[in-house]
Amino acid sequence: MSAGTGAFDGVSDRVWFISHAGADRAWAEWVGWQLLDAGHQVELDYWDWGTGDNFVLKMNAALERGRLLALFSPAYFEPERFTTPEWTAVVAMREKITPVRISRVDPPAILRPLLSRDLFGLSPAEARRVLLEAVDGPARPDAEPPFPGTHSVLRQVGASGPRLPGSLPRVRNLPARNAAFTGRDGMLVHLRQALASDQRVAVQALHGRGGVGKTQLALEYAYRFAGEYELAWWIAAEDLALIPGQLAALAARIGAAPAGTAPAEAVELLLGELGTMSRWLLVFDNAEDSDALAPFLTGGTTGHVLITSRNPNWHTHAHSLDVTTLSRAESVALLRAQSAVLADADADSIAATLDDLPLALAQAAALLTRGLSAADLKEELAANLVQVMDQGHPPGYPLALAAQVRLTRSSLQSDHPAAAAVVDALALLAPEPFPLTTCVGHLPDQASTLLKEAVGARLSAAGAVDAVARHGLARVHNGTLQLHRLTQDMLAGQMTDQEHDQATADAEALLTAADPGWARDPRFWPAWQVLLPHALAIDPSRLTTSRGRSTLGQACWYLMDRGQARPARDRLQLLYDTLLQQLGPDHDDTLRAAHHLARAYGDTQDHERARALDEDTLARRRRLNGDDDPGTLAIAGNLAVRLKVLGRHEEALALNEETLETRRRVSGAEHPDTLRTAYNLVVRLADVGRVGEARVLGEETLERLRRVLGAEHPDTRMTAAWLELLREQQEGPGAGE
């Protein structure tokens, strides 16, 4: 992207519009500074354009009143960049472009005739000279002009300009740069803007799950914007006890404290010294406790602090930036960064399997460069994901992904065993947010002692959620916990058989505790929308309690009400077959599963199979529970529907009449189940041509539905719609208007 800057009424009346890619912001600011210092007027977006400004209008205005200075780089010519309309507009207007190259790149054919000067690979002084020659033309002197004194625009206000981008600070201890770092341009620009916008010490905390690339992002920032700092110091912050010693070494290096000074005293002297300085960067890598780190965060004038952490809770001490997974395009680029040759489809498939997680992608790229083909890698990932992710570790990462997850899980088990039980259970559910706090007070007896400890009360649940978040194993939002799919796969693959069995039981316990209630009730639909993916994720054959099976049945009913009968049928079939084998055909859980499965058959147009199953279930219900049992009556109503669909209208009508009479006697005339049965009878009467009787019963039923369930309930609205159809049949359209 390009951009803007402040103007100066002095040496030149020409405004130079600096056109650059967002990834090259450091170069753009250095160039802008040098031009201002030489007396030129400059427009740079980061300096001159405010939030809410219309980018297109600003760009057009800048091009109309000034000359375009283009900073050529590989990123500059990426098609999706705003730099493309900038230079193409200038070419179209037959205006002159002044290009300088800030890295090695071959421009498009239309721009190749332009002579460009190279700024990269030069000393700061030489790069400044070349830049000014490009801007001012060959009339500029070859030698550096004398010291301009008070005539220098920037030095008049006491400013000291940034060094050449890429040049390293005099005082530094940065780890080696990752040559394979790919993407994150937008996040780097956002981070630079956030740090540069603060007038005092700016503290940014990069947080996210393990392997998402927080450390690599901080390191790339330190190198990419190294020219902005005179001091850049890296502190390994995972062990708080080691931080004072690392800061004491910095204090000795800059003369803030004599060598050998006690660490605590050296830190105090260092923080005081930094308070008087500007243009310094401290990076606290892998810090976990915000309050414990707070004493090392200096106040004072201008300086920047970066923190990387799995813990998202930095709001008191820093501005937080959530580091998420890569975009798919960035993932593909990372897979190819080590010269791996990949077809687009293979790259996309591998990236999807690895959840676009940078660490996992870097490991995969290393395997591809060591001789594994794309087909081999995809096959291994499908068969042995945990084993593949245990293979070594790429440069810049201390551990392989599997080892990192194993270590984090072990740490959580040690720090908060109850929270670890929650994570193990969630690893077997869906990679969507799970409403953990809704489970408080509703856990069934089969839940483990640790799970009951974690979700026994709201405050204990909040503590478990906080512990999981601090270890970076899940995202937290509004009482929900969300584990990413790859993290789930790692956790599940590392459990022992005994741990997996307990996690399965706890997953079922969480599922039943979060059960919102009857899936046909509109009040519970928002909660079912959240719970549904988790209900569908659990293996129906592993459910061991009536409550768990009932929750799955209700979830499938909710799914069928939304027109997704096929996935519901598949799960219900597996549940029914399992229960037939384990509990027998007469068990109440088996009969309830048969009731749900028969509807799934009907909704997938397998009507004869639906009738046969409902008929068998009705016979068993009558024998086991009697004719008046609610379960018997529900199956009788369903069977009437099957008969009607098969064209057996008189049989369906007789069964409906019998069922309604029993419902009224057992439950009363205004019970919701009675009213639903009455609606079914209205439909049956209309089917056999008894429209007048259907209208009388329908009017009576509609009045009761409005009184009992309300005018907006789906049953009420459906009955009203049927009555309107019946009225039109008898009286013709518009007769009641």
The vertex-572 CA angle with 571 and 575, nearest 5°, equals: 90
Helical axes 243-254 vs 263-274, angle rounded to 10°: 60
List the one residue out of 363, 359, 364, 326 whose CA is nearest residue 347.
364
Rounded Cα distance between 325 and 686, Å, is 58
List the one residue out of 581, 517, 573, 511 whose CA is nearest residue 548.
511
Residues contacting residue 518 through CB under 8 Å, at least 6 positions apart? 524, 554
pLDDT digits (tens, 9 = 90+) for 536-563: 999 999 999 999 999 999 999 999 999 9
Give the HSE-up count for residue 342: Cα atoms under 13 Å, Cβ half-sphere.
Answer: 30
Rounded Cα distance between 384 and 490, Å, is 10
Q: DSSP labels for 487-501?
A: HHHHHHHHS-HHHHH
Has residue 200 got a pLDDT over 70? no
Has residue 614 got a pLDDT over 90? yes
Has residue 142 got a pLDDT over 80? no
List the one residue out of 164, 159, 157, 285 whose CA is nearest residue 215.
285
Decide if 535 contacts 555 (C-beta within 8 A). yes
Tokens in use for 656?
């409906």
List the chain domain ranges. 15-136, 171-322, 328-415, 515-605, 618-731
Has residue 32 got a pLDDT over 60? yes
List the one residue out of 623, 621, 657 whose CA is nearest residue 637.
657
Has residue 169 got a pLDDT over 60? yes
Q: Classify residue 7 as exposed, middle or buried by CB count within 10 Å of its CB (0-12, 13-18, 19+).
A: middle
First to last CA, the chain: 63
Give the HSE-up count for residue 489: Cα atoms under 13 Å, Cβ half-sphere.
Answer: 19
* Residue 288: C-alpha distances to residues 38, 44, 115, 357, 372 (Å): 46, 38, 52, 21, 37
Banded pLDDT at 146 (limits 50, 70, 90): very low
**Helix, strand, coil proportions of the chain in percent (round to 5)?**
60, 10, 35
Rounded Cα distance between 355 and 487, Å, is 9
Q: DSSP labels for 252-278?
A: HHHTSS-TT--HHHHHHHHHHHHTT--
pLDDT digits (tens, 9 = 90+) for 660-697: 999 999 999 999 989 989 988 888 888 888 888 888 99
List the one residue out of 104, 139, 98, 138 whose CA is nearest residue 116.
98
Least confident of 66-80, 122-136, 364-378: 66-80
Percentage of the chain exceeding pLDDT 70 = 87
Give the HSE-up count for residue 633: Cα atoms under 13 Å, Cβ half-sphere.
Answer: 21
Q: Classify residue 632 as exposed, middle or buried by CB count within 10 Å of its CB (0-12, 13-18, 19+).
A: buried
Q: What's the DSSP call for residue 544? A: -
List the one residue out of 397, 304, 414 whose CA is nearest residue 357.
397
The three-state secondary structure class of 686 is: helix
Average pLDDT over residues 187-201: 75
List the one residue out of 712, 648, 707, 626 whose CA is nearest residue 672.
707
Has residue 382 got a pLDDT over 60? yes
Tokens in use for 621?
């219900």
- What mean pLDDT value characterizes the chain? 84
Decide if 393 contacts 400 (C-beta within 8 A). yes
Percentage of the chain exceeding pLDDT 90 = 39
Tokens in use for 539?
């293996």
Q: What is the pLDDT of residue 577?
A: 96
Rounded Cα distance between 655 and 493, Å, is 52
Tokens in use for 191?
């981070």
List the one residue out of 184, 465, 219 whose CA is nearest residue 325.
184
Identical fold, 15-136 and 171-322:
yes
Which residues sit opposite 434 in a β-bridge? Answer: 481
Banded pLDDT at 23 (limits 50, 70, 90): confident
Has residue 152 got a pLDDT over 50? no
Rounded Cα distance between 328 and 336, Å, is 13
Q: What is the pLDDT of residue 538?
A: 92
Domain spanning 15-136, CATH architecture? 3-Layer(aba) Sandwich (3.40)
The three-state secondary structure class of 463 is: helix
Q: Kind of pairing, strands 41-43 and 15-19?
A: parallel
144/433: higher pLDDT? 433
pLDDT digits (tens, 9 = 90+) for 420-455: 999 999 999 999 999 998 999 899 988 999 999 999
Handedness of CA 648, 650, 651, 654 (dihedral sign): positive
CATH superfamily assigned to domain 171-322? P-loop containing nucleotide triphosphate hydrolases (3.40.50.300)
**For 191-235, what is the HEC assignment?**
HHHHHHHCCCCEEEEEECCCCCCHHHHHHHHHHHCHHHCCEEEEE
Has residue 260 got a pLDDT over 60? yes
Q: What is the pLDDT of residue 6?
A: 39
Rounded Cα distance between 474 and 86, Å, is 42
The three-state secondary structure class of 736 is: coil
Rounded Cα distance between 238 and 260, Å, is 24
Q: What's the DSSP call for residue 66? A: E
Rounded Cα distance between 7 and 11, Å, is 11
Tokens in use for 105?
């790149």
User: Hey, which CATH number is domain 618-731, 1.25.40.10, 3.20.20.80, 3.40.50.970, 3.40.50.300?
Assistant: 1.25.40.10
Handedness of CA 337, 340, 341, 342 (dihedral sign): negative
**Most confidently modeled of 90-94, 317-321, 369-373, 557-561?**
557-561
Decide if 41 contacts 58 (C-beta within 8 A). no
Q: What's the DSSP call for residue 251? A: H
**For 99-129, what is the HEC assignment?**
EEECCCCCCCHHHCCCCCEECCCCCHHHHHH
- Measured from the Cβ of residue 263, the count of other Cβ atoms closer than 10 Å reads 18
